[in-house]
């Protein structure tokens, strides 16, 4: 059982070939941490992210050389590319012409409105999606003067002002919005408030969240809170870690809310004194192997021969072990006993057999 979530109906926008909002799936994004000028390294990382399930990728364009590299990156990327722009709008214009599907602008970093106007016109000409990315740490001075602190109300007023400005002046609506803070509670309050005032799609997440563990916790709190209230059309789990981990964490959140499944769900016991196998090693190997499979499947990695099959009877397939022996079970019933050293190969063999017998469990597209 999963919570019943009624998503807010937002308008549909397009980032390249990917549609966002409306009844579309909640899209998973990430951002490269390679030097954009290094086309080979950037494309290699994009391919890894794509293989993990990333649907839209953002790259930094801090200078002319980075923008020049975009032409090759957008041409070879298997997923739409978003350019991350700050300060210099002319770089954004060139990025649009290089073939990007979207551009993220932080209005608080632009001082010359005429330059921003020119960029919006180019985006409209090329059909490029604009993300108005409001960050608590870079609100425009007049907003800060009014509110004193970068409060949720301040962030929302900034976002609505810029949204109204672009829509009314340029009659352009291929726009999504984000309102991020490093404080997860301020983040969700800003999104909630904005969602009551606008039907433009929202890209959700927490900025400057931290490393793998603390960052995952902050992101999970904020993203889950919002998704449970039906808010959010696309998301990024920002982590100071390998961006591939951002994608896996994102899908774990979506999977546990019953919103999207991409990779198998793996349950495992926390180990205790009865455990006679290297459970953590087994779990890690199963996890790494399962990351290469797209299937709606529940797997179990248990550490106790006596209780393993019973405790995990709801799993499609599972393993447990004792001294030198491994057991494979299916829906709680033992189907094979093998030497411990043969347990993982035999388990993977049984999973592949199960999927051949149940092709409906495979996720062919996301």
Q: Is the pLDDT of residue 304 over 90?
A: no
Helix (H) or strand (E) holding 81: strand 81-85
pLDDT at 237: 98
pLDDT at 87: 87
CA–CA distance, 58 with 43 (Å, rounded to integer) = 12
Q: Band of the pLDDT at 306, cuts 50, 70, 90?
A: low
Average pLDDT, the chain: 94
Q: Which residues of the chain does CATH 3.30.413.10 include?
A: 265-361
- Please check if 272 is assigned to a binding site: yes
Q: Is the pLDDT of residue 275 over 80?
A: no
The pairing of strands 333-339 and 325-330 is antiparallel
- Please check if 54 is assigned to a binding site: no
In the chain the first and final C-alpha atoms are separated, in Å, by 21
In CATH terms, is domain 265-361 a member of 3.30.413.10? yes
Q: Is the pLDDT of residue 300 over 80?
A: yes
Looking from the CA of 295 toward its CB, the CA atoms found within 13 Å total 22
Neighbours of 231 (CB within 10 A): 21
Directed axis angle between helix 39-52 and helix 64-76, to 10°? 50
pLDDT at 366: 56
Q: Is the pLDDT of residue 310 over 80?
A: no
pLDDT at 363: 94
Matching CATH number, 13-256, of 3.40.50.300, 3.20.20.20, 3.30.300.30, 3.40.50.150: 3.20.20.20
User: Nearest CA to 363 among 287, 267, 294?
Assistant: 294
Q: Is the pLDDT of residue 256 over 70?
A: yes
Q: Which residues contact 356 (CB under 8 A, 6 or more apart)?
A: none
Q: Which residue has the higher pLDDT, 343 or 108?
A: 343
Mean pLDDT of 117-139: 96
pLDDT at 305: 65
Q: Which residues of the chain does CATH 3.20.20.20 include?
A: 13-256
Percent of the chain with pLDDT over 90: 85
- Please check if 304 is assigned to a binding site: yes
Q: Residue 300 in 3-state DSSP?
A: strand
Mean pLDDT of 94-120: 92
pLDDT at 290: 96
Mean pLDDT of 80-109: 94
CA–CA distance, 232 with 173 (Å, rounded to integer) = 18
pLDDT tens for 15-41 read 999 999 999 999 999 999 999 999 999
pLDDT tens for 154-176 read 999 999 999 999 999 999 999 99
| Range from 140-154, 250-264, 314-328 carrying the lowest mean pLDDT | 314-328
Give yes or no for a contact between 347 and 328, defined as CB atoms under 8 angstroms apart: yes
Q: Is the pLDDT of residue 67 over 90?
A: yes
Mean pLDDT of 110-132: 94
Q: Band of the pLDDT at 198, cuts 50, 70, 90?
A: very high
Q: Is the pLDDT of residue 253 over 60?
A: yes
pLDDT tens for 330-355 read 998 999 999 999 999 999 999 999 99
Percent of the chain with pLDDT over 70: 98
For the entire predicted model, the pTM comes to: 0.93
pLDDT at 220: 97
pLDDT at 307: 65
Give the total residue count for the chain: 366
Mean pLDDT of 143-162: 96
């Amino acid at each position: 059982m999963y919570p019943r979530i009624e998503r807010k109906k937002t308008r549909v926008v397009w980032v390249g070939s990917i549609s966002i909002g409306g009844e579309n799936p909640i899209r998973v994004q990430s951002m490269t941490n390679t030097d954009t000028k290094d086309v080979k390294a950037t494309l290699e990382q994009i391919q890894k992210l794509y293989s993990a399930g990333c649907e839209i990728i953002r790259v930094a364009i801090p200078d002319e050389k980075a923008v020049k590299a975009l032409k090759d990156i957008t041409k070879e990327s298997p997923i739409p590319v978003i350019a991350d722009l700050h300060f210099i709008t002319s770089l954004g214009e060139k990025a649009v012409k290089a073939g990007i599907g979207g551009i993220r602008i932080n209005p608080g970093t632009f001082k010359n409105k005429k330059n921003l106007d020119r960029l919006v016109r180019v985006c409209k000409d090329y059909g490029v999606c604009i993300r108005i990315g409001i960050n608590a740490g870079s609100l425009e001075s007049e907003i800060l003067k009014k509110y004193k602190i970068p409060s949720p109300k301040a962030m929302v007023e900034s976002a609505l002002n810029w949204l109204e400005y672009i829509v009314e002046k340029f009659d352009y609506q291929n726009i999504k919005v984000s309102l991020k803070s490093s404080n997860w509670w301020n983040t969700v309050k800003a999104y909630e408030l904005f969602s009551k005032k606008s039907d433009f799609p929202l890209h959700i997440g927490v900025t400057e969240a931290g490393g793998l563990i603390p960052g995952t916790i902050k992101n999970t709190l904020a993203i889950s809170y919002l998704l449970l209230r039906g808010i959010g059309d696309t998301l990024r789990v920002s982590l100071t870690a390998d961006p591939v981990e951002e994608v896996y964490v994102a899908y774990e959140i979506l999977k546990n809310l019953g919103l999207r499944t991409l990779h198998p769900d793996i349950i495992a016991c926390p180990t205790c004194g009865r455990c006679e196998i290297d459970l953590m090693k087994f779990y890690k190997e199963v996890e790494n192997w399962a990351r290469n499979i797209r299937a709606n499947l529940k797997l179990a990695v248990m550490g106790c021969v006596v209780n393993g099959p019973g405790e995990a009877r709801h799993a499609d397939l599972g393993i447990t072990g004792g001294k030198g022996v491994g057991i494979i079970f299916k829906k709680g019933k033992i189907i094979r006993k093998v030497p411990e050293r043969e347990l993982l190969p035999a388990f993977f063999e049984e999973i592949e057999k199960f999927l051949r017998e149940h092709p409906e469990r495979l996720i062919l597209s996301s």
